[in-house]
Structure 1
Amino acid sequence: MTVLTVVLAALVDRLRGEDDERGDVPGWVMITVMTAALVLAILIPFREAIVAAVQNALTSVTSGGG
């Protein structure tokens, strides 16, 4: 079989829905939502410290490091 034949066969199987490895969409949605919640849980209490750290870093870069 040529590579083109293998790719076309895989595409046909995917379009027919015969692919057992399609993934778990609700699982990925849950992971995305939980990641966003974790970012917010870290960002909210430490927002001022993060902003200050970024400002200090930018100031040190723009002022020549020192």
Structure 2
Amino acid sequence: MLTAKQIEALAPRERSYRVADSRGLSLRVDPSGAKYWIATVARKTRSLGRWPDISAVDVAR
């Protein structure tokens, strides 16, 4: 599971990118620096909300 410290250290890039967490969860980092939890369920992607509004602990539940 990604920790808050690891998430805070993720720097924006020119293009959006994802960092895998666990069990179909990933965190998308946008060029603006915004970070969003992404869940892949049955090969479909769902946004779960913006970090830090939703923590790594909450999203894993």
Query: Shorter-chain TM-score: what band?
Result: under 0.3
Q: So what's the TM-score if we normalise by structure 1?
A: 0.18
Q: So what's the TM-score if we normalise by structure 2?
A: 0.19
Whichever of the two has the greater Rg, that structure is 1
**Greater relative CO (CA pairs within 8 A, separation 6+):** 2
From the two aligned structures, give the one with the greater strand fraction: 2
